[in-house]
Amino acid sequence: MLLLLTAPVCGMGVLMIQSGEAPHYPGHMIYAAGAYTFYNLAAAGANVVRYHKRTGAVHAATKMLSLSCALVSLFSLQSAMLAAFGDDAVFQFQMNSITCALLFAALAGMAVYMIAKGNKQIRLVKE
């Protein structure tokens, strides 16, 4: 499912980049969104490191989904911060394009990794 949902996330990023639109947070809410994003990213990274030896499918899926949510949140925060604090449209376009491409590659890579690992575990169970 993560592989299928990667396409809409990438499409959302491409639309955001092409239209030049970005999320807008009222007042100081951008700082709260930033704090949440970095907390979410740190927690997801810590869970990946902490539970990397667990082989259960539920643990692996939970780790990857929380990490993918954190990465999407990071892309959204970057877009909002560049729109709020940046004044160079070319730089904003370049940074959002690079981040969107990296996000798509990371999500697709995680999905392919989960599929390969799941197939390997299924083969081991059948044997």
pLDDT at 63: 86
Query: Which 3-state string (H, E, C) describes the chain?
Result: CHHHHHHHHHHHHHHHHHHCCCCCCCCCHHHHHHHHHHHHHHHHHHHHHHCCCCCCHHHHHHHHHHHHHHHHHHHHHHHHHHHHHCCCHHHHHHHHHHHHHHHHHHHHHHHHHHHHHHHHHHHHHHC
Task: Say yes or no to pLDDT of 15 above 90.
Answer: no
State pLDDT tens for residues 48-107.
Answer: 888 777 767 777 788 888 889 899 999 989 998 988 888 888 898 999 999 999 999 999
